Chain A
């Protein structure tokens, strides 16, 4: 029998952490209750709308977009435990609310088999739908360096790491097993852009803010648009410096993921994938 790690208070912690990524009004309420700086509307938009949309599908999907198979997989989890999936089943707020709810239900279950089943469901949610993307996602939010949501990301990262210690883990999560393998070399600019803007393929999260910083660093014009457009412009204007900047970025990500919990196959997977992307970029840079 696995112990139920979350107290009712811990459940509320995860609900509150999740609420920050949802409605801006809830973010203010939750941050205040958590003792964190309260984000303004603009900061909330900057983080959750413009840079780090809080949907699992963006980070685990083969296309790096909203919806698709990754979102369906999350919806399937809701259905599997007998709960009708909400409109956005892979949204961070919904997933953490569900995680909190399962913790409360397991703690309140009368029958040991029920408590056991709820605990297993909660573990599966954590292992398959939260842990595979949240550490990297929260690092990406932290990298944005905003005054209120940076501390939120670090607290959430700490809470997730603490929770990880209570979950046994197991086989590599399905989303990562199913992630497309990186080929020896992407065929052409379009494919390269797809890989670099799809976290589960590249192993790192490339935000709009990061691209703006890249433009400044490599001395190229920052052309405003969606990330692929911006990145294409950078690569076309200054291919070698941009590839160099990207190599440095993936190295940083790979190193950071390598510092995850010892023996954690998920973090190791992300580190390896970023490292592989780094190798590819280096090779690409060498050909220019």
Chain B
């Protein structure tokens, strides 16, 4: 019992709390001073127009610097953290980037990559002007051209392709998009199915497992409120979501949450874990199933959740026709389904202790609904059948009922908001088989990394091929096959690189067109990072600053360095030149509504979007006397909602139900249209019933609820899609032994992990950031001391030769107990190179190499390491390192998973001391052998022509970027299996 004095103090405290809440509800800052109150340092937004700091360089003199703080969004990784650009009011230049405290996802915090944006902006080696190749492709001759010249040439080619019916000869290949669908809509406006992405060398394995469960391909773990956090891979440390997820994991840990990490390598995340499990690569699904089996056998699962939301009735009906369709009967079968996955079995597969697994299972069982989990790349991206890693992981969450609960795991679409834009072009009427080949009808994303092989097979050609902030020669496996394809003008007629910087791929382009970094371009972006929805705005900050000062800019090139442009304006301009008179029907999707017949401006594009498609923003902006676009230009991000909760439990309103039919298994179809929503976030699209009524919900205990966007409307424990499309043996969550399972390894083989990141780099995109380069610039091969002794490798730093199935690479050894015996590891990001005579590109990270082709294939030899050089930046003279690692991906053959389409990155390799004459970073590759490996893996596929149950190329309900019109789904007669 508190004293009267306590009561009066508490009352006073409540008064302060109320005053603070009232001020913050108005969007203002209660404690405006610098850091001490908030224990962080954020300039209050009321002072963003004129923020004063003392110059550190002028010390001890007190020299004031006046800044305008302008928000934008980081463009390095995908988590879209908020940045604040400090625009010097005297010089009009960006001085630095810090975190944007108004961003709901990152909350003012950034990893090293955000502030390092200033390095990218001021990089002396960046590309500032449009250039056209002069001389042979890859020969190194360039001439500066005008944007008009480039646009006219490209528009003429594309217009010719479209008018001649060669729609499939136009392709745009994206790296990490950093935006939500803009480029897809450009291609749709052209009627082209030409969107290609890097996702099948990235996350499509992880996505596949989630999609088959819930019709949505990404999880959204509510880490901040979890009791148990279960991560497969070094997600906190090295995944995209380093910062927004990491800060919430840290928050949960402060509240006592337990963190379980499955990672063969001792990652930074693993070092923070309560349980670090270092399994044999590929055994992760077996561990998940052992935990699931424990939950089942101990009856420690949420029976009511399973009964209501799993499609167990469909499973019984289809797979156990003689069994009564009752939940009790299902539970009886469930008890036997995973009984073989004992802790002892999983321990034997994983090389771990069964007792530890049992302890971990006990911790998981105690999480209840507060079990957040994540699996993205790592095991799901490394192994044949890796998609079952995320499918079995979600099985654990679904058993616990920890789906869309506080502290649980949500479908990402419920925590993401993609605002409807001013124009939405229709689905293209063609199907691009170079990206969506018939062999992979269930592929989660474009089979992008097989493109060189498909071109070599003669399956098609590309007239105009764009890469957009993407480096396929470097990023993909088998990069030298890419180089061969890109050098062949019969296969790729015109190769255009939209890029801020030189790269291994841009070197072979016909046009190199400079695009902006995060403070030099427009995009909108939203990501699942907690149970809420937000949208963030990337913008050219100098354009926004000029606008605040009353000098609006209508072309971003006016404020960007050199003639660097942004993509939005580029695509609008190109589309107009492809269809100058509107006769192709393209121009109207890039035309102003306010001024018909004129070009759409980015101000109108985003102004319309923020005014019409972001609920609450208009009112929020009006409260400050601003238009929605002005508000977004000022603050950079807007939280639309918080606490979405269990959307699947929502009852479907009567207005959305008309002429309802209910399938025997409870799928509810309605002739009424869905409620109009400005959120066009991608999800699965369940097929209508035979009369065309749309799937509107699912009947749960007599109530029509929203359910999940799966065919059944429920969580699909058993996938009718996998069963019907040729893979009935994998229709349930299960364990597929990897291509690097010990039983598959030959004598002397060890497993090479190549999928992990260093926390301060993000593929080639960050390599022009000198601060990051100084922090991380090499990728030695991790070798356990026992293995090192076995291989005859004496010391850290000794050179080793790592032999893959198509060649070898030479790298330095790092002898460490941070890796499991029998496994070696080598990070990507590193081993950047440039050919002798090529532009410097990423100066601090690129070695100069010689590349030659002989009878035994390609050889890359290091001619000169990275080192100091003269440039406009004096720091380039201070480069103290020479070791920039090895480009191991060149020595990997393609490994397409026959179901998900994911490239299975793990390699079976031999490691031995380097041979005489080997130098660090040397590479040898036999692309002929690479062709054979491609054919071997292709043979694992089950083509649509053989397995399609309905004569289509792909299940219509599955997610797919830039989905074509329904008619394009029909399999060509030639592809159909006559049997």
A29 CA / B254 CA spacing, docked (Å): 30
Stretch from B10-18, B526-534, B595-603, B922-930 forming part of the interface with A = B10-18
Out of B17, B31, B255, which one reaches A29, CB within 8 Å? B31
A15 CA / B38 CA spacing, docked (Å): 9
Per-residue B-contact encoding for A86-113, CB less than 8 Å = 1, 0 else: 1110010110011001000100111101
A23 touches B255 (CB 8 A): no
Out of A12, A98, A113, A162, which one reaches B20, CB within 8 Å? A12
Given A12-B17, A86-B35, 6 other A-B contacts at CB below 8 A? A13-B12, A22-B36, A34-B16, A86-B36, A108-B255, A159-B9
Residue on A nearest B31 in the bound complex, by CB: A26
B32 touches A10 (CB 8 A): no
Q: Does B305 contact A (CB under 8 A)?
A: no
Q: Does B133 contact A (CB under 8 A)?
A: no
Interface centre among A15, A32, A111, A158 (most CB of B within 10 A): A15
Number of B residues near A (Cβ < 8 Å) is 31
A29 CA / B34 CA spacing, docked (Å): 14
Given A7-B13, A162-B5: A98 in contact with B37 (beta carbons within 8 A): no
Between-chain CB contacts (< 8 Å), 30 pairs: A9-B14, A9-B16, A10-B9, A12-B14, A12-B16, A13-B13, A13-B16, A16-B13, A16-B16, A18-B36, A22-B37, A23-B34, A25-B32, A26-B32, A30-B31, A33-B16, A35-B12, A82-B254, A86-B36, A94-B36, A97-B39, A98-B39, A105-B255, A108-B255, A110-B257, A111-B255, A114-B255, A114-B256, A158-B5, A162-B5
A114 CA / B253 CA spacing, docked (Å): 9
Out of A11, A32, A82, A109, which one reaches B13, CB within 8 Å? A11
Please indicate the chain B residues that have their CB under 8 angstroms from the CB of A13 in the complex. 9-10, 12-13, 16
Closest 9 CB pairs of A and B: A23-B33, A114-B256, A9-B13, A13-B13, A111-B256, A93-B36, A9-B14, A33-B19, A26-B33
Tell me the A101-144 residues at the B interface (CB within 8 Å): 101, 105, 108-111, 113-115
B31 touches A19 (CB 8 A): yes
Per-residue A-contact encoding for B957-974, CB less than 8 Å = 1, 0 else: 000000000000000000
Residue on A nearest B39 in the bound complex, by CB: A97
Given A9-B17, A111-B255: A162 in contact with B9 (beta carbons within 8 A): yes
Out of A11, A15, A159, which one reaches B37, CB within 8 Å? A15
Q: Does B345 contact A (CB under 8 A)?
A: no
Q: Does A8 contact B (CB under 8 A)?
A: yes
Residue on B nearest A10 in the bound complex, by CB: B13
Cβ of A192 to closest chain B Cβ, rounded Å = 33
Q: Does A1 contact B (CB under 8 A)?
A: no
Q: Does B570 contact A (CB under 8 A)?
A: no
Cβ of A259 to closest chain B Cβ, rounded Å = 16
Please indicate the chain A residues that have their CB under 8 angstroms from the CB of B35 in the complex. 86-87
Please indicate the chain A residues that have their CB under 8 angstroms from the CB of B13 in the complex. 7-14, 16
A29 CA / B37 CA spacing, docked (Å): 12
Tell me the A179-215 residues at the B interface (CB within 8 Å): none
B39 touches A25 (CB 8 A): no
Number of A residues near B (Cβ < 8 Å) is 47
A86 CA / B16 CA spacing, docked (Å): 24
Given A22-B33, A97-B38: A35 in contact with B9 (beta carbons within 8 A): no
Please indicate the chain B residues that have their CB under 8 angstroms from the CB of A86 in the complex. 35-36, 39
Please indicate the chain B residues that have their CB under 8 angstroms from the CB of A159 in the complex. 9
A174 CA / B495 CA spacing, docked (Å): 71
Q: Does A165 contact B (CB under 8 A)?
A: yes
Tell me the A193-247 residues at the B interface (CB within 8 Å): none
Q: Does B937 contact A (CB under 8 A)?
A: no
Tell me the B33-51 residues at the A interface (CB within 8 Å): 33-39
Please indicate the chain B residues that have their CB under 8 angstroms from the CB of A23 in the complex. 31-34, 36-37
Q: Does B6 contact A (CB under 8 A)?
A: yes
B17 touches A8 (CB 8 A): yes
B37 touches A91 (CB 8 A): no
Please indicate the chain A residues that have their CB under 8 angstroms from the CB of B30 in the complex. 29
A19 touches B255 (CB 8 A): no
Please indicate the chain A residues that have their CB under 8 angstroms from the CB of B31 in the complex. 15, 19, 23, 26, 29-30
Out of B33, B38, B227, which one reaches A25, CB within 8 Å? B33
Interface centre among A13, A88, A114, A165 (most CB of B within 10 A): A13
A86 CA / B41 CA spacing, docked (Å): 9
Please indicate the chain B residues that have their CB under 8 angstroms from the CB of A111 in the complex. 227, 255-256
Residue on B nearest A92 in the bound complex, by CB: B36
Cβ of B227 to closest chain A Cβ, rounded Å = 6
Per-residue A-contact encoding for B237-277, CB less than 8 Å = 1, 0 else: 00000000000000000111100000000000000000000
A13 CA / B11 CA spacing, docked (Å): 9
Interface centre among B14, B19, B36, B370 (most CB of A within 10 A): B36
A110 touches B256 (CB 8 A): yes
Please indicate the chain B residues that have their CB under 8 angstroms from the CB of A12 in the complex. 13-14, 16-17, 20
Please indicate the chain A residues that have their CB under 8 angstroms from the CB of B39 in the complex. 83, 86, 94, 97-98, 101
Cβ of A180 to closest chain B Cβ, rounded Å = 29
A150 CA / B40 CA spacing, docked (Å): 28
Tell me the B70-87 residues at the A interface (CB within 8 Å): none
